[in-house]
Every structure is written in structure tokens, then in C-alpha cells.
Amino acid sequence: MLIIKNILSWIFDPKNRSLIVAVAFIVLLFFLFSTCNRAKSLQLTIEKNKQEAQRAINNYEASLDTVKMYRDKEGNLIGQIQGYELTVGELNGKYANLLGDYEDLKNKPPITITKVVTVIKDSILNVNVNSFGDSTGGELTFKDSTFFAEGNWRNLSGTIPYTLDKGSDNPVVPGKGSFKIGQSLSLSTYLTKDKESGKIMINVETPYPGVTFSSIKGASILDDEKNKKMWKEARKTWGLGVNVGYGFSLAATKPSPYFGVGLSYSPKWLQWGK
């Protein structure tokens, strides 16, 4: 009771009125700052929920999308399809098929995964054919090569043996031919993301003509730490604090009522929760 009586007498002492008004003003500022922080935290929660809902919609649309082919200004073929945006947990669960045979990726998921199936349609109009043989037969040989761009070329060669049967209506009897084909096809894969809708688009580009991308699958893997980082950045390291109580102070040798006002610093790594 004595402590409460001393605190009340100190509060109602006219000499302390100015200090009490100042402390009350600081307390009001403290509550205003606290309200602003709560409002910002609520805004971040709403924004995070909106992003998650939009991501679910985009992933559903990606499951229905088909490959679209077009050419850019340089004449390169581009295949485009909407991709997924997944968490590591989703990648190892519902969408585990995207990992395919890449077991190493399961231990350390990449930022992006792409899987492309290509169909090449090529045509050769004129190829010089050489013939070697005698009166009993021989072989036909041909060789052709085409260079499209750096890392994009095609080599074709072959041999067709034949025999001659002069007593037959068709004197040339072809044998089994042997053919060799070598191709080099360069693919450039990149992802784009629409700022408003958040849609992920997977683009596969090549200068090799006559290419069709019959299947493109891919995903951009979300960093699970991304959301944690967002909440962590929202924390405040500096704050305005008000202390009211009864005890000892550096300026007094006896216990007395006190008001404490000042700045406080708390590193983000020492803070808990969001």
C-alpha cells in the first residue's frame, strides 16, 4: 500500500505535471507506432495469401496449356508454354514427375526445371550421287552437309550397293543401303514472368529450321526461405520504449517511482515469430 500511495502522490504532484504530459505524449506515439506495425504485418499477410491464390490459379492454367510455336525477329523458332511455380515440397510430391530421371535434383532442387521433346522435319532437295562399279554391279554413294548457325548443323551420307542382272527386265538389283546422319541442335531455354499475373512462361529457342517442340514441361522452384525473408525484413530493429515502475535508478540511492523513455535496439536474428 505504501508503494501505491507514493506512486499516486508523485503522479498528482503539480511539479511533475509537465513530465507526465510528456510521458503521456510519448506513450501515445508508442501506440501509434505499434498500430502501424500491426497494420503492415496484416498487409503482408493479405498480400502473401493473394500471391498464393494467384499461384494456384496459374499452376492450374499451366496444366491445361499447350505448346505454341512462332518465330522471332531473327527468324529463330521459339516454342512457348506456361510453366509451373512450385515449392520444394510440391516438387517432391504432386509434381515429382517433373524430376524425371534426374535423381541428383531430388537432393538439391534447382531453381528451374525444363524438359523438352523435339521433332525435326528436314528435307533434302538435291544431292549429288556418285556411282562406282563394273559390269556385275557396284554401289551408289552420296554425301550432304548443311550448316545453319553455331552449334546447328546436319551431315548425311550413305551407300547403296547394287548388282546387274542383264537377263532381267529390271537389270539393276539394289542391295541393303547403309546411311549415316549426324545432327547438332542447340536449344536456349529461358523463363519470363508477368509482373501483374505472376504467370511463368517457358521459352525454348533454336535457329535450327524445321523443328517442332511437341512437349515442353517446366517449373520455377520457389525458395522456401523467400517468405521467411519477407517477414524477417518486416521486423523492426529499432523501437521507442516506455517504462513505468518503482525501483532504483542511477540518480537515486533510494527506491522511488520512475518513468523511463528511450530507444531500444533488437537485432532481427534475436526476434521470434513473424
Beta bridge partners of 192: 201
In this prediction, residue 85 carries a pLDDT of 87
In this prediction, residue 159 carries a pLDDT of 95
Q: Identify whether the C-beta of residue 141 lies closer than 8 Å to the C-beta of residue 126.
A: no
Backbone angle region of 179, left / alpha / beta, with phi > 0 → left and psi within -120 to 50 → alpha: beta
Class of domain 68-122+186-224: mainly beta
Is the predicted pLDDT of residue 17 greater than 80, yes or no?
no
Would you report the helix, strand and coil content of the chain in percent, each value rounded to 5?
30, 40, 25
In this prediction, residue 102 carries a pLDDT of 47
Q: Which amino acid is at 10?
A: W
Domain boundaries, the chain: 2-46+235-270, 68-122+186-224, 129-184
Three-state SS for 47?
Answer: helix
In this prediction, residue 46 carries a pLDDT of 85
Distance of alpha carbon 142 from alpha carbon 160, whole angstroms: 9
For residue 90, give the nearest of 68, 62, 50, 65 by alpha carbon: 62
In this prediction, residue 75 carries a pLDDT of 83
Q: Identify whether the C-beta of residue 217 lies closer than 8 Å to the C-beta of residue 59.
A: no
Question: In the numeric block, which cell numbers belong to residue 163?
Answer: 548388282
Q: What is the pLDDT of residues 241-253, one digit of tens each?
A: 666 666 666 566 6
Q: What is the pLDDT of residues 53-87, one digit of tens each?
A: 898 899 999 889 998 988 888 888 899 999 888 88
**Length in residues, the chain:** 274
Is the predicted pLDDT of residue 139 greater than 90, yes or no?
yes
What is the 8-class DSSP label of residue 168? Answer: S
Is the predicted pLDDT of residue 224 greater than 90, yes or no?
no
In this prediction, residue 230 carries a pLDDT of 44
Q: What pTM did the predictor assign?
A: 0.53
8 vs 83: which has the higher pLDDT:
83
